[in-house]
Structure formats: structure tokens, C-alpha cells
Structure 1
Amino acid sequence: MLSESKSTDLLKDYYHDWVIVYKEGAIRDVTLSKYHMCEKWIENLAPDLRLCDVTRKAYQNIINEYAKEHERQTVMDFHHQLKGAILDAVDEGLIPHDPTRKVIIKGKTPVDKKQKYLNQFQLQTLLQSLKLEETINWDWFILLVAKTGMRFSEALAITPKDFDFAHQTVSINKTWNYKDGGGFAATKNRSSVRKIQIDWQLVMQFATLVKDLPVDKPIFVTKDKVYNSTVNDILERYCKKLDIPIISVHGLRHTHASILLFAGVSIASVARRLGHASMTTTQKTYLHIIQELENQDIDLVMRSLSNLT
């Protein structure tokens, strides 16, 4: 059992204990690793800072130092992880006032990122080039992700019984723990548990493909160790050969969402299909597309009004 904290304890020690008590066993391992990384940065940036000395200025200095090496969004995530522990320390009376209030989030200028998604023509070109054999291969995996927008770990965990061919749906209720030795694991969040409607063509293809496979075994996992780099390499070779932007498996998820948004599907429906915890996540991720659609809406509004006499 951990000892009671005191206001003279070091911030790094309090944060370490706080992660053990409130985060371990409560969040996914991938999220927990982010809190552990935050702890390393606290040790680096404020090794001797005591809780009683965590003022607004001291906290802002930590954020400023972290921002020298990271982009603004990463700084925001760091602030969010550290703030949780700080506010608990305030509630416990270990820090007299909330030092995170009115914090200024800074950060390095984001580097230009590669295109994350394909347009409809480019996706069609890719899908038509896939080698869809009579037995399971990674090309089938690429097709499934492109047509459903699943996350990589979700698609790996799909078993034959997850398909409801009569109602044209596939259920997402688990993931495959490919980063840590395999095995089924929980979904990213509650909203990630969902049913995705699939088109009749995909129904016919997968009904034939999985009919003789074990109903409760993941159809794409043939050995314990699976790497997303394997599928990414296959995708990259296709993209280079077809002279289209090189994207990753996660880029297929972005492609799926982008095509739906451009087709006029509501943000709410796209968010549910992707398993986002809230529409805010969808709006932030696809802000550039939403802004482009808003510009098209303005043109449509102006044309409609100009016809009124």
C-alpha cells in the first residue's frame, strides 16, 4: 500500500503513485503507456519540484519546456495527462490553488504530413487491383477495412460469427492484442462496440470465404505474431504500382470516413460507424473535409437564393 502524500512530496513521486492508484488496470495498456511517458518527462523537466511549489508559473514553465520539442496537439495531450494528477492534488489540499487554470498551450509548428486518405477514384483503383483469392490473404483484409472503416486491431479480431449475413452487418465487440503477444482484448472504448452495415457484395464475398472456418477464431490471424507493417508494406507496393498516394492501413479508415462525408453522410452517422466516443472526435479529425463541404454549402445557398425573385 502506498503511503499518504504530503505537500512536500516531489511532483514526480506524486504523479508516479497517482498513475498506479487511478490508472493501472482502469485504462488500456496503450493509453497507460502515454501516462508513463508523461512521467518520464516530469522527471526530466521538474525533477526537484515539490507539490507545494507547483504554482501557475511553475506549471506554465513545465508546459513551455515540453512545447519546445513537441507540436501543439502533443503538448495538449501532455497537459491533459498531468492536469488530472494536479487537480487531484488540489482536491487533497496538497496544492493550495489550481495551477493549471488559464494555462497557455504552445508548441512547434506542425510539419507537413503526407496525405492520409485516398479519393473515391483512387480507392476504386486500389480495390480493383487487389488479388482476392479463394482463401484468406491480406488483400481481403485491405478490402474489409476500406469498406468498413475498422481500426487495424478491430479487423484482426473479426471471426466468422461476427458476420450477420442475413442482416448485412458485422459486429465489432473486441480487438486483437497484436502489440503484446496476441489474444482478444477489449475495444478502445464503449462506443467502439458497434454493428457496421456492409454492402451485399461484401456479404456474398465473405459468406463464401469464411463458411468452412472455425466460427470463433480470428480469420486473419494465422500465427501469434502479427505486424501492421506487413499490411502497410503490401499497401505501399500497391500504391506505388498504381501511382496513387501512399497510405497506411489507418489511412484506409480515413479514406472510408472521407468518402462518406463527401457523399453527404451526416457526421453523427460517420462517428457511430467509426466507433468514435463523440462527434467532436470526428469533427476534429476531419475538420479539413467539413470545411470544404461547408464551402460547397455556401455556394449552394447562394445559388438557391439568387433564383428567388
Structure 2
Amino acid sequence: MTKTLVGTPDEQPRKKKAPKLRDGVMKRGTTWSYVIRVRDPETGESKPKWVGGFASEDDAKAARDEARVNARRGEYVDRNEITVSDYLDMWIEDHAMEIKPGTLEDYRTGLRLYVKPYIGKMRLQAVRPSTITKLYRDLLAKGSKDGKPLKVSTVTHTHAILRRAFRDAVLVHEFISSSPVEKAKRPRADLDGPGTIWTAAQLRTFLTLARTHRLHAFFHLASYTGARRGELLNLRWRDIDLDGKRITIKGSVGVVEGQRVEGTTKSGRTRVVSIDDTTVTVLSEHQKAQEAEKARAGESWKGTDDTVFTTAWGGPIYPTTVTGLPRKLIEARNKTATDPLPVIRLHDLRHVHATLLLLAGVPVHVVAARLGHADPAITLRVYAHVIRSAETAAADIFAKTIE
């Protein structure tokens, strides 16, 4: 029996056209896909590989062309199967040239300790915001080597690394369409703020104590300029103008895979910091003492340039060497002192410098420039408590100026 269709041809149901594959590209639903043939390195057999999720036909074509080139070179990576670990290894290698050596080593360590053991085996495309959120929860609960909670600052730093890596997975490598890290719930940033802050009197006590050490000029300069540890260890005599009373900070020293490495400052910029007469005298004395050490060492002198702070035989100083010295000096003093000096980190000398300047009324932008902060807003956030303390006296100060 023959069925009769009712209605005009326009009213009759139409068959939905199947998507057409054109030169390896086709539309599937709302997104575009491409297919290429890739040779299996083990069997030598050529198999089709589909890759989808592109927003436009042009995006799919561009990715197809790149994939074809990589397939011919034997470098094709199936973006549907790549794991988080594989991608992060690729990302580190691709960006090694644009990341400072110290930062690169920091990234490698962070990813190795805090990311790969947890989500490294997952497919990159399977990672969701909830995956990253759970990662942060696990790190905060038991992320350290001994299974104890990890510091908020460490988890926040891990987030910063992942944010950059996954952003590149979207924009550069086009492995995924959006970054799950952006939508993940992360702990509130724990700023690298001041620890114990000495008073001016306590700082004077420490600097008097430090004069017993051959590197006392290092601690004096750290206190009177707020320069970072690595910046001072990178300092050359040609960067110091004793007559003009200023030093030029051009680079920094770090440790990568156990090796001492010199690079740019944290901001990547050079800065000039003024010094006072006392600091000029301290540096002059240090220079004379260094010349005396060089004369005593004779041919054994290891120095090859005019580095300001060296070992007694002219060799380079590793950052970790000076890090522990303040604690050793303070603890030795406190064993017999009736007025114990609070133990602080070497980095806290930088905080002491900034705090005393801010409390003295020095403008925030001036302090930021001395510290090498890229933006005074950073100084405002780190030293917010100091600024609030100064603000409490602002009303009285204003009233007195007009009395």
C-alpha cells in the first residue's frame, strides 16, 4: 500500500543534511573538528585521529595544518589523550627561554611536588574546576612531604603556576577551550608580609653585633636599602657610586639545581637607590678589607670580577650562605644577653627598612621605588597595617599644622 504525503512540498518533512568533511575539516554540532592520519610508531600503521572542540572553521584548519606538520615530523601529540603531566612537561620546555632560570626551577619543583602526584595522570581535557579545587583542598590538608598541611602561600603560588600553564593550554597550544583553573576555588592569597619587625633600637643592636662578622657590610646595606638578598650578592663595585651616594641594582643571584645562577632583578628592571654617609663609610671600609684579603690570598684569590660580597678567597657566595647568618648571630648573643633580641629572617631586614620609612612619613611611591616593587599598590597591600597605623595619627598631625 502506497502512503500519500499530505500538503505542499514545502510542508513535507525534510531530511537533515549530514555534515560534510572538506579537506579534513567538518562541523559537528556547534563546534568544528579535523581529522588527520597519524602513523603508529609501534606498528607503523596509519590511523585516523579526530580532534574537536574548535569554535570556528578557521581555528580547526589552523590546528589541522599544524598537526599535519607535526605528524610528518613524528612529533604529533594527540590533544585528546595528553595527560596533565605530559602537557606540563611540554609547557615547561616550550617556555624555558622566556622564564628566568630561578623561576623555571621554582616552577619545576612546584609542579613535581604539588601537582603531578595528584592530577598528573589525568587527561588534560578531563580536568574540571572541581578537580583543581579538590587539589587545593588536598594540599592544604596534607600537601607537605610529611603529610602535614601546606602553607596557604605555597598553595597560592601553585595556583599562580597552574593558572599560567592552563592559560597557555587554551591560547597557545589550543588543547582545551577554557581554563578550569580560572573557575576553581582557591585559598585567599597569603601575602609575603612582614614577620617580626624590629624597632630602630633593635636594628642598631643587630648591626653593632654584625660588625663582628666579615660580611657586616652586607647586613648594613640590606637594612639601609631594603635590597633583596640576591640583588646584593649580584652587586659589583662598578655599580656603586660612593661620591654620588647611590648604588645601581642591575641583577640578582639565585640557585638552580644546586648551581649559583645570575639573572635579572625580580621585576626585570634596573633601579638606583640612594645611600647615606654612614653607608658610604661602611662600604669604603668593606672595600679596603676586601683588598687586604685579596693581597693575603695572592694567587689563590678566586675572584674574576669586582663583586662586592665574596668569600674570604674571592669566590662567589651562595644565597643560602647568608640566609642563616642573622639567626646564628642573634642566638649566640641571646645566650648571655639580658635583653634578648627577637630572631628574624634575613628577608625581614627589607621589611624593617620599609616599615621605618613609612612610619617616618616617606611617601609610599618612594618606598616602592627603593624596594623595587613594580607597582606602589604592592607596597600598599604588604604594608597595609603600617599605613593604617600612620593614618591614626593623621588627624592630630593636620590639626597641629593649622594651630
Q: CA deviation at 1:65?
A: 2.2
Among 82, 100, 108, the alignment partner of 2:181 is 100
Distance 1:286 1:74 in 2: 20
Give yes or no for the alignment of 1:84 onto 2:181: no
TM-score (norm 2): 0.64
What amino acid is the match of 1:187? T
Structure 1 counterpart of 2:204, from 99, 111, 124: 124
Alignment-derived partner of residue 223 in structure 2? 146
Q: Which ranges of structure 2 fall in alignment gaps of 5 or more residues? A: 1-72, 142-148, 295-303
Partner of 1:219: 308
Contact kept? 2:234, 2:253, Cα under 8 Å: yes
Aligned residue among 266, 273, 291 for 1:188: 266
- Is 1:202 the counterpart of 2:202 in the alignment? no
Say whether the 8 Å CA contact 1:175–1:185 is kept in structure 2. yes
Determine the C-alpha separation between the residues in 1 that align with 2:203 and 2:346.
Answer: 13
**Are 1:126 and 1:239, in contact at CA under 8 Å, matched by a contact in 2?**
no
- 1:261 deviates by 0.9
Match of 1:26 in 2: 98
Q: Percent identity?
A: 24
Letter in 2 for 1:173: K
Change (3 A) 1:130 1:94: closer
Aligned residue in 2 for 1:292:
389
Structure 1 residues 57 and 178 mapped into 2: Cα distance closer, same or farther (>3 Å)?
Answer: closer
The 8 Å contact of residues 168 and 197 in structure 1, kept in 2 or not, is answered as yes
Note the C-alpha offset of 1:186. 2.8
Q: Deviations over 1:83-118 (max 9, x none)?
A: 21212223344223332333221379x8xx994321
**Higher strand proportion (structure 1 or 2):** 2
Could you say if the C-alpha distance between residues 116 and 204 of structure 1 is closer, same or farther in structure 2, counting changes exceeding 3 Å?
same
TM-score (norm 1): 0.82
Q: What is the rounded CA distance, in whole Å, between the counterparts of 1:170 and 1:116 in structure 2?
A: 27
Alignment of 1:271-286 (within 5 A): 271-286=368-383
Question: Quick check: 1:157 aligned with 2:234?
Answer: yes
More deviation, 159-168/201-210: 201-210
The answer for the alignment partner of 1:75 in structure 2 is 155
One-letter amino acid of the counterpart of residue 116, structure 2: E
Deviation of 1:168 after TM superposition, in Å, equals 0.8
Q: Describe the shift of the 1:32–1:181 C-alpha distance in structure 2 as closer, same or farther (beyond 3 A).
A: closer
Moved more, 71-80 or 231-240: 231-240
Q: 1:201 & 1:31 partners in 2: Cα distance?
A: 35
1:15 has 2:96 as partner: no
SS of match in other structure, 1:218: coil
- Separation (CA, whole Å) in 1 of partners of 2:216 and 2:351: 18
Correspondent of 1:255 among 334, 347, 352? 352
Query: Larger C-alpha radius of gyration, 1 or 2?
Result: 2
- Secondary structure of the equivalent of 1:171? strand
What amino acid maps onto 1:290 in structure 2? I
Query: For residues 96 and 162 of structure 1, what CA distance do their matches in structure 2 show?
Result: 48
Q: Give, as a single letter, the amino acid of the residue that structure 2 aligns with 1:117.
A: I
Q: Partners in 1 of 2:199 and 2:106 — Cα distance?
A: 33
| Deviation by residue 1:227-266 (Cα, 9 ceiling, x = unmatched) | 1245334542476245221112212111111111111112
Q: Deviation digits for residues 102-149 of structure 1, max 9, x if unmatched?
A: 3221379x8xx99432111211233344437xxx81222211211111
Matched to 1:275, the amino acid is G
CA RMSD of aligned residues (A): 3.2
Are the counterparts in 2 of residues 235 and 248 from structure 1 also a CA contact under 8 Å? Answer: no
Kindly indicate whether the alpha-carbon contact (under 8 Å) linking 1:141 and 1:155 is maintained by their aligned counterparts in 2: yes
Helix, strand or coil at the partner of 2:247: strand
Greater relative contact order (Cα 8 A, min sep 6): structure 1 or 2? 1
Q: Take 2:278 and 2:167, find their aligned partners in 1: how far apart are those partners?
A: 52
1:168 match: 245
Gap regions ≥5 residues in structure 1: none
Query: CA, structure 1 residues 299+48, in 2 after alignment: closer, same or farther (shift >3 Å)?
Result: farther
Matched, 1:35 2:107: yes
Contact kept in structure 2, 1:149 and 1:257, CA below 8 Å: yes
User: CA, structure 1 residues 233+125, in 2 after alignment: closer, same or farther (shift >3 Å)?
Assistant: closer
Q: Is the 8 A contact 1:11 1:50 kept in 2?
A: yes
